[in-house]
Amino acid sequence: MNHLNHKGRLRRGLSLLEVIMCTVVVALMLVPIVDLIRVSNRTLVRVEKGSTTAQRLQQASIWLRDTLRDSQIQSVVRNNIQLRLANGDVATLQTNNTQLILNTKSHSTIVCDDITGASWRELLTTTPPFTRTGVVLAIQANDPVKGPIEIETTVAVGP
Amino acid sequence: MNAKQRTGSTLLEVAIGSMMMAVLLIPAIHAMNDSDRLNKRHDLRISMLFAAEEQLEKTKISLLDPVAFDAAYIASGASTVQSITLAGTSGLVCRTQIIADKSIGVAPARLVTIVTEVWQDINGDRQYDNGEPSERLLTQQAKL
């Protein structure tokens, strides 16, 4: 703004009131901007982190549960589970270092990656002829924050 | 403005314009917060469904024993409440109820409905309260 001072000369600049008003307006403007930055940072961290280890194991367990439910289990031994898939293919569920893999004649499916172990056991009836009633699967992995975690899944394979 | 026509905006105009833009950002913050909240709720619901299905499977296995099935059929409506330990999610409680279904009257066939309800027990009273996130699954099992 231009003002005439007491000597009648033109003075260029802003009045104190204008500066104060601008400062207030800028401060008010900064509040939602800072909030937006905070929220966007939180979202970014969440997206970059991806799904947690627990969620990853949970998703693999859900997939396994659905697959086993739709299949016919042929054998459950210490190293693998043999099953006949719904499409008739024979498949083997086994671990390979840090991966849980479902192998068929034609292809391999990585069920879960970055695991520290996987185990399974069959559940049998308590009375003869001790038929198989279910399978319990456990997948273990290391979470960078929570340490070692395990997700257990039970699948009923009754008659 | 001086006598010479000056082009451009004053500091005050720029500040007011910026403030208006900042005000427009407020709904964007709300949208992002809502998205974050919904994401967390979705994760929780997935975990609750996982836990409910796990409980359903365990109950189905236990009912494959004919003696256990008959006992559950006779004690129709009895429910069990238990805490669920699930990595990544805390405070889940599950209630499983087995209800005799008398709709098939062909003896000795018997049918039961298994109802599993999982909720996040926020206040820790092991009872479902309004507002606590929950999921409910049910299935039926027959003994022929």
ipTM for the complex shown: 0.70
Q: Which of A74, A110, A69, A109 is nearest to A90 (CA)?
A: A74
Q: Do B57 and A155 touch (CB under 8 A)?
A: yes
Is A121 in CB contact (< 8 Å) with chain B? no
% of chain A exceeding 70 in pLDDT: 91
Among the partner-chain residues A36, A58, A134, the one whose CB lies closest to the CB of B29 is A36
pLDDT in tens, A6-27: 566 666 777 888 888 888 888 8
Q: Say what the pLDDT of residue B112 is.
A: 94
Report the chain A residue with the minimal C-alpha distance to residue B4: A2
**In chain A, where does DSSP find H-type helix?**
16-49, 53-70
Q: Do B35 and A126 touch (CB under 8 A)?
A: no
Q: What is the structure's pLDDT at B117?
A: 96
Query: Which chain B residue lies closest to A24 (C-alpha atoms)?
Result: B15
- A15-21: Cβ within 8 A, 24+ apart: A18/B11, A18/B12, A21/B12, A21/B15
pLDDT band at B12, cuts 50/70/90?
confident
**Token pair 């994760």 is at which residue?**
B43
Q: Is the peptide bond before A32 cis (omega within 30 degrees of 0)?
A: no
Task: Report the predicted TM-score, pTM, of the whole model to 2 decimal places.
Answer: 0.75
Question: Which pLDDT value is given to residue B5?
Answer: 67
In this predicted structure, the answer to whether residue B96 has a pLDDT above a threshold of 90 is yes
Is the model's pLDDT at B3 over the cut of 70? no
* B60 closest CB neighbour out of A30, A40, A158: A158
Q: Do B16 and A25 touch (CB under 8 A)?
A: yes
Q: Which residue has the higher pLDDT, B9 or A113?
A: A113
Residue A116 touches chain B, beta carbons under 8 Å? no
Q: What is the pLDDT of residue A8?
A: 63
pLDDT of residue A43 exceeding 80, the answer is no
